[in-house]
Structure 1
């Protein structure tokens, strides 16, 4: 991905040069729209590289809440779940095949998430920890269950 970004940057620089060059017969509107899409793609790719190098996922429990935090270089997104509303915490089947699932490349910052650690929260199923293997997910569920009310755990 890092090598791809070098080529991406070269294309970005060339497109900006074409767009800002008044002496060329470049279709300005097409180039501007293309550049916007190209830039958005590059931002996602750069974010994926940052996630792989310095990203982390933190799951913590207090007496009243479970917090799921996704963090890259101090920039974070947290979700807070009230302990009393968590049901059926479990290690669920989840594909980590890189050809069918790219969830470990970049974490879910919106939606219910991806991963083998799942729990029901209201009418939704929340999933976390996409990079864990099945045995690791089971160990995490066991450790989390020790700090949750008995009705929150499937164990």
Structure 2
């Protein structure tokens, strides 16, 4: 059975439950970083060509600047890719729950058995503001709390919590 909860792709069948949510896009940050990346490419190109043209001789300041500038550019590229293509994924299969933040299906996943879960609840992002109707799902175990569906609408999150509770319940 496939569900389409506005922003989430939910699939439930005899194998288990699969939920995929695209990460919320920050368009201002995306535009700023893309423009910044143009300047970064220009400066990186000139720093590397100067390094090569000077027969690979570089002083300490230029080396530190080049390394720092390269790391900063890689961080910005990663942030842009996350903003465009990242997804939060939750899968319940064979009494195992897996939460994964992935870019192009690559990412770090957290696994736990469903019997470890003590509570699944909704945590509003800003409970003081009534107009802010977003929150995140907390999956609580005795050792750790896992967060899923950041900045998700409260109504959709409640629906997802019901589906997760149904799938995580012990099979009779």
Task: For 1:15 and 1:42, locate their aligned partners in 2 and report how far apart those are by CA, in whole Å.
Answer: 13
Distance in 1, matches of 2:81 and 2:102, equals 10
Partner residue, 2:68: 37
Aligned to 1:3: 35
Does residue 1:20 correspond to 2:40, yes or no? no
TM-score between both structures, scaled by the size of structure 1: 0.71
8 Å Cα contact 1:19-1:28 kept in structure 2: no
1:77-136 CA-to-partner distances (Å, cap 9, x unmatched) read 2221111111211111225xxxxxxxxxxxxxxxxxxx7111222322211222423333
Structure possessing the higher radius of gyration over alpha carbons = 2
Are the equivalent residues in 2 in contact too, given 1:51–1:72 (CA < 8 A)?
A: yes
Deviation sequence 1:18-75 (CA, Å, 0-9, x none): 333428xx96211111221211121121112112222222111113211112222232
Equivalent residue for 2:14?
Answer: none
* Unaligned 5+ runs, structure 2: 1-32, 127-134
Task: Give yes or no for contact 2:125–2:151 (8 Å, CA) kept in 1.
Answer: no
Structure-2-length-normalised TM-score = 0.65
Q: Which structure: greater strand fraction?
A: 2
RMSD: 2.3
- Residue 63, structure 1, aligned to residue 94, structure 2: yes
Q: Secondary structure, in 3 states, of the residue corresponding to 1:147?
A: helix
| CA distance in structure 1 between the aligned counterparts of 2:157 and 2:99, rounded to whole angstroms | 15
Unmatched segments (≥5 aa) in structure 1: 96-114, 151-155
